[in-house]
Structure 1
Amino acid sequence: MKYSILNNEITFTIGEINKPMYRYISIVNLNVDIQLIDNICGSICRNGQGKSVHTQSQYIHNNGKALIYFFIHKGISNPTSSSDWQSIILEFLNFYISANNFSKATLSTKIEIWHTRITAFLNILTDDGVIPVGLIIPNIKLQKESSRTTFKKTLQNTLPQKTSTLDKLLIDTSFALDDEMFLDKIEASLRRQVSILKTVCLQHWEAIVADNNLFKKYTEHTEYSEINTLFEPCGRVVNNPPKKFSLICNNESTEGCIWTILIIRKLLLISNNTDCISNESLAKLPYFHSRPFNHKQSLLLSPVTSLKTSAFNILNAPGVFHHFCGVLSGADVAAICTLLTIEHPNFNPMSLQDAKLVGVKGKMHLITTDDNEISIFSIDKPRATKRKSAVLTLLSQKIILSIINITQPLRNILKRNNNPDWRYLFLGKQNGGEVGKMKVATSDGLTCKKSRSLIRMYPELEKAGLTRGVLSLRKVRNTMGVLKWFETGSIQEMSKCLGNSYRVVLEHYIPSSLIEEWNTRIIRRFQNTLIILACKDEDFLLDVTDFTTMDELINFTSQLVIEYKKGTSPIANLIHIFSSELPDKKVKNEAAVLNINLSSNGIAYLYAFHEFTLKNIPQIDKTNQSSAISDSVQALMNLSSFIKHACETNAISPALRDIIDYESLLLVHSKALKLKDIILDKFDNMHLSHSFWSDDEK
């Protein structure tokens, strides 16, 4: 890495000698002594020597170019004292963060570069004697706005969604419910989501067990019993197998898939190498090509798997064969941990993932009675004073025993290699191709959108709102504690369920989302109470409240009468005065008139219906016609006759003329008569089925 200063331009030469690359920095209008620029460039080249071309280029751009541009922009002359240099460094920081003429990076990126690169570059200039010793290089941090809400821990919480245009509020009007119904609604929602999650995880676990047991029977078949001839008594693979076994695992048929799985299972039983099923190890065997697995071949196993089609399609080719061989994946561990968390919420999720069957000193962590009916399992929680233990439910016992049985071949390999990972409950294939303790986070196995995860394998989880950001083992555990609180109403019982103290549960495990929703409910109910009292005699009462139907408003008002006892507050007195106004205390308006705005189109349909009925149903069979239909038809016919009579006679009193707005009614009547014939033609094309008057309507 070299540099030269010529004709108001600095030229840096980077890269190899035979393939040089150049970077240029213009120094026009630079008032600083050229010797200072020469010293800065010398420091850049000395510290960039031996680094990659990309690093040298970034070194020039982020360090030297930024400082020289600053000198040109500010027109700074030669600094002499330490105080001058201190002012220059502070101004340089301000310039670097605010100026956009040499860098379009975001503010956070600039601050990161200042901390990691420019600060180091200024220290290098200090060591080289370019700038004085003892200067303070400022350190800044980008302040982030603190979240106003605490971490949401229940499964019910979802990401913010746009409110429907039909809704009147951004919140649910569930505050119209009484206390018991409100809590029941939340409990039902949580139980529904837990039920869906448990069903999915049970399906996945049962598929793991079924597919693992499926290939045990193939070793007993005659056509596959020769598998032992492919291995020497010492466990080594036969290097020169019979011709019919050459590359047998790459035969793109169901038989080839079966041989692949049987050989992998055999290797897990007899091999002493932890990488015996890695792609590199399998490629060395005479039964495989250089690429042991291919997607086209793995699809042949789709008809025999117990996994759902959506789950099977997510698996890659190695994942399909490992699934049938009992090698657990991240999604498998996530499903099993979820089931165990639902059954035993006192198990911490992280501790459950790292659960051991045997301690370092040989102590068994899974204790089973002689009749194998009851088991006690304990896990380690580092922050706790003692291990967390629980008497396993029947389902939990079946799950743990099945996992031990499935992973036993992997456990034996680790034992033969004196690998301490054999003590762990969950064993699978690690990233390097070796078998050992599962190191994939359960969060990735649950909700990762780029790898095999439960939400990708089972779309019904996302449909239920259990998506990334909502679903986690931590939230599942907390939800089970909240459900226990719903069942018993006791914080003490909730603390026993979660295995935490009363104080910890009260402070951290009653979810803030539930508290916030309850507070919102209290506020909204009080606001609507004031609105109802202020507008109780207005016709726009429903419009100004948070209710969409009159039934909701009436239901809410009836609750107020029960909740607010008379004499307890001024508002309570107003509510009881409002509710105690009996009908006989009001002066009834016997002369009240119902005003209806009629249209010519509506009257035309009424006239047409009248004629159509008289023409097609001259005599209605009373035995086949319900009273409700008879009353409806007769009422419409009477209304039609009344309007016609009023418009076609002159014997109407002046008072009635004013009430019915006679002039407007005549205009509507004349227009309706013109439209009636058109509508009758439409009625003639209609068919009135016999079922309309059938006994079903009775």
Structure 2
Amino acid sequence: MLKHRFISPSVVHFESPDRDTICGWRYAAGRIPQGTPQPFVRSIIAAVEKLGSRLNSNSIPKLVIGMNAILDSLSLHEVFLSENINWNEVLFIHYCETLNDKSTQQRTRLQEWAASEKIYKELVRAGAIPSDTSIPSGTVRGGCSEDALAPIGFERKILETPMTLSDLLPKKSLIAEGLELDDEEFIEKLKNRLESGTLTIFELLNDYWDSMCRCHQTGQDLMQRVPVEELTQRISSGDFFYKDMHLAHPDSPDGISWFLRATHYYAFVTYKLDLLNFNSISGLPFFTKLFEIPGITDRIFEKLVDVCGVDAPPFKARNKQPTEMISRLLGLLSKRDCGVACCILTIENPSFTADSITNADLYSQNGKFYVKARTLHRRLVFSVSKPRARKRKISLLSSVSAKVITDIIRSTSEIRARQKHYNKANWRKLFLLSSRKKLGSISRLSTAIGAGSGITLYNLFKDKLKSEKIDKGSFNLSSLRTTQAIICFLTHGSLKRVADLLNNTIQTVKKDYIPIWLIIYWGNRILRSLQQKFIVVATEGSPWQLEASDFLDAASLRKFIDKTLRELKHGDAFSEMIRDRLGKYSDNPKMTEPFINSELIIPMNSQALTVLYAYSDVVSENKSESSGVAYQDRETISDPQIRSIANLIRQCNYLADSELSEAEYAILSKISGDSLMQFQRMHLLATENAKELSLIFRKRLPKIEQREGC
């Protein structure tokens, strides 16, 4: 619950409970300029409180910044001294000044105005501002601005206006590439680019996580050398030396084992150690004499790095902070480790939003476990909360996700017990970590991924990410989730499948997850393809045909001509012109014949579907046919076409009548016939029987997977 209290006549504090802070509260200070009417002050404070109660707690500081910006602008222009206030002019001036402020970055300006815009709208609803006031929008609808929901690798390039001949861009920068490709091949190329980037990120994250787990095990093995009983005896006796050398000295036998065991004992048994750094550790009885030795901190740090080996966490040579090194050997998580876990879980479970996974709870308020085992699939189930939707998102975890969740539970168990001992509300959270400032939880894990300072994940993986054209701005949880949605859309072409993947509605998918630039990109491809047909036909026989077209070499131009000839229609005047001028390039005269529409009749019964499913599962991809360059007899069906038919029929099983578009409903009606329920029963039976028939195909027809096509 967001509340406010006045610290002074000119300062108001907004307070909200926050279990991630040490004190349990989050504060944001608002400034009240002198001369602001009290009714307006009460209205704007009420607007911030109302908005803050609906939005995420991380949005409250942004709202207060927006409130301060509004009051500063009104005070600067002495708005309240005027008897007749022109609110349209006031808001427009504030809008222009905010967006033209070059002292801050563009993203910061847009965020500030977005917060101010929300408050202005709330003031209009409350009657503090006339209802006919026009509130400018800071949202760009043209599809050219950076979007928080853009996929990985997406970026905007601002091109300078050429002033001289040397400033002119090469042809490659001015054309639409890929026009010679068939639509399926073009989509596959776009999808492969996104999948390649995602796979690279996933491999880097997995390697990082495996390295972290190995270091956890190294620390456990070292601590096993020193029994807890022996440590407690030494602490009770006050004797911390062996042969005139401190037990935890790096040069002492098992010195680093004693260091880790004692640190663990004070942090998670007696709870006398609050921070894992040298300053806090040096004040403990066991370590007092050790840290009196000159240069001992450097020696201990070097020994910690040595025992971690290649699995040591990254650190800056100038700033040798021991917290993350000690934490990793004690089996604890750092902020960066939690960021890696969030990325893996987001990629494998796109139904988890960035906010929901970073602020996920492991236990309910009643102490119930949110991780459950599903015996039917022998897999774990985990759910996260979406406060604005007022429901939980459930996901069936893969083996990788299940391992990550299991590792997190193990690595946070001791901090969880400590927080529970101190009655801290954050003991229920999934991510509990060790940092330089505290042992507990943190809300903004995103700063460890790409947007923060220090050694972020992007800085750690920078070279390999740049090779995939993934920049810092597009490396975040939202981009990873959106990428999975777009890959699903390009693979299946169904908004329903994307909605199921994200656990959202189709309306939300249309609005937020099919980006405007993708629609513009596809529309531009259609328009440029038509333009190229005009250009190629008009310049046929001219020496400048290649230079005038959108193709960099003669092979691409020839491929486009072949594609154009295959797509010719019957009775179209332009098609006849293309056939007359470009038909000579066809190796097969039948290729230029008009395409005749026809129908394929498939008996819809379980036996026919069984054969179709089994055959499509065992035949391999034929690259020469999928490219669409080679001519194929139109009275036969190729293996890729058979696979496409089988895939189309299978997808119909996922469609729901209540959420069908007109196109999807037409396809479903054509395939399922009069009874959708009967079709679904046939599909399930055929799917089961196809598994056995596939084995028979492979056994009795051993060369079926290398078929050259029908």
TM range, smaller chain: 0.5 to 0.7
Q: Residue 331 of structure 2: SS of its match in structure 1?
A: coil
Q: Is 1:277 equivalent to 2:233 in the alignment?
A: no
Cα distance change of structure 1 residues 220 and 136 upon mapping to structure 2, 3 Å threshold: closer
- 1:579 deviates by 2.5
1:417-449: per-residue Cα shift (whole Å, max 9, x none)? 12221111110135633x11233x232111146
Q: Residue 263 of structure 1: SS of its match in structure 2?
A: helix
Distance 1:141 1:309 in 2: 51
- 1:242 deviates by 2.8
Distance 1:309 1:407 in 2: 19
Report what 2:421 is aligned to.
416
Cα distance change of structure 1 residues 142 and 388 upon mapping to structure 2, 3 Å threshold: closer
Distance 2:219 2:501 in 1: 40
Distance 1:529 1:239 in 2: 92
Contact 1:274–1:413 (Cα < 8 Å) also in 2: no
Report what 1:242 is aligned to.
240
Q: Residue 482 of structure 2: SS of its match in structure 1?
A: helix
Equivalent of 2:517, from 513, 516, 519? 513
Q: Which runs of 5+ in 1 are unaligned?
A: 1-46, 48-62, 64-111, 127-131, 584-698
Amino acid in structure 2 at the alignment position of 1:196: T
Distance 1:213 1:371 in 2: 32
Report what 2:154 is aligned to.
157
Cα distance change of structure 1 residues 215 and 527 upon mapping to structure 2, 3 Å threshold: same
1:319-346: per-residue Cα shift (whole Å, max 9, x none)? 2222222332221111101111111111
- 1:464 deviates by 2.3
- 1:360 deviates by 0.6
Q: Is 1:119 equivalent to 2:119 in the alignment?
A: no
Cα distance change of structure 1 residues 351 and 293 upon mapping to structure 2, 3 Å threshold: farther
Distance 2:584 2:338 in 1: 65
Q: Residue 389 of structure 1: SS of its match in structure 2?
A: strand
Distance 2:441 2:256 in 1: 27
- 1:513 deviates by 2.7
Q: Residue 508 of structure 1: SS of its match in structure 2?
A: helix
Amino acid in structure 2 at the alignment position of 1:398: K
Contact 1:377–1:392 (Cα < 8 Å) also in 2: yes
Distance 2:416 2:245 in 1: 30
Contact 1:295–1:317 (Cα < 8 Å) also in 2: no
Q: Is 1:357 equivalent to 2:373 in the alignment?
A: no
Equivalent residue runs for 1:225-624 within 5 Å: 225=227, 228-231=229-232, 240-244=238-242, 249=248, 251=250, 256-272=255-271, 275=274, 277=276, 280-286=279-285, 287=287, 289=291, 294=297, 297-305=300-308, 311=314, 316-368=321-373, 373-429=378-434, 432-433=437-438, 435-439=439-443, 441-448=444-451, 450-459=453-462, 460-568=464-572, 570-581=573-584
Q: Residue 368 of structure 1: SS of its match in structure 2?
A: strand
Equivalent residue runs for 1:137-176 within 5 Å: 139=90, 140-143=93-96, 144=99, 147=140, 148-149=142-143, 151=147, 153-160=150-157, 167-176=171-180
Larger radius of gyration: 1
What is the aligned-residue RMSD (CA, Å)? 3.8
Question: Identity, % of aligned pairs?
Answer: 21
- 1:308 deviates by 6.0
- 1:478 deviates by 1.4
Contact 1:157–1:513 (Cα < 8 Å) also in 2: no
Q: Residue 377 of structure 1: SS of its match in structure 2?
A: strand
Cα distance change of structure 1 residues 544 and 391 upon mapping to structure 2, 3 Å threshold: same
TM-score of the aligned structures, taking structure 2 as reference length: 0.58
Contact 2:346–2:352 (Cα < 8 Å) also in 1: yes
1:548-569: per-residue Cα shift (whole Å, max 9, x none)? 111111111111112231323x
Report what 1:218 is aligned to.
222
Cα distance change of structure 1 residues 581 and 354 upon mapping to structure 2, 3 Å threshold: closer
Amino acid in structure 2 at the alignment position of 1:158: E
Distance 1:164 1:300 in 2: 57
Distance 2:557 2:151 in 1: 31
Cα distance change of structure 1 residues 205 and 275 upon mapping to structure 2, 3 Å threshold: same
Distance 1:114 1:438 in 2: 30
Cα distance change of structure 1 residues 283 and 311 upon mapping to structure 2, 3 Å threshold: closer
TM-score of the aligned structures, taking structure 1 as reference length: 0.59
Q: Which runs of 5+ in 2 are unaligned?
A: 1-9, 11-33, 35-67, 100-137, 160-166, 587-710
Cα distance change of structure 1 residues 164 and 476 upon mapping to structure 2, 3 Å threshold: farther
Amino acid in structure 1 at the alignment position of 2:361: K
Q: Residue 212 of structure 1: SS of its match in structure 2?
A: helix
Amino acid in structure 2 at the alignment position of 1:337: C
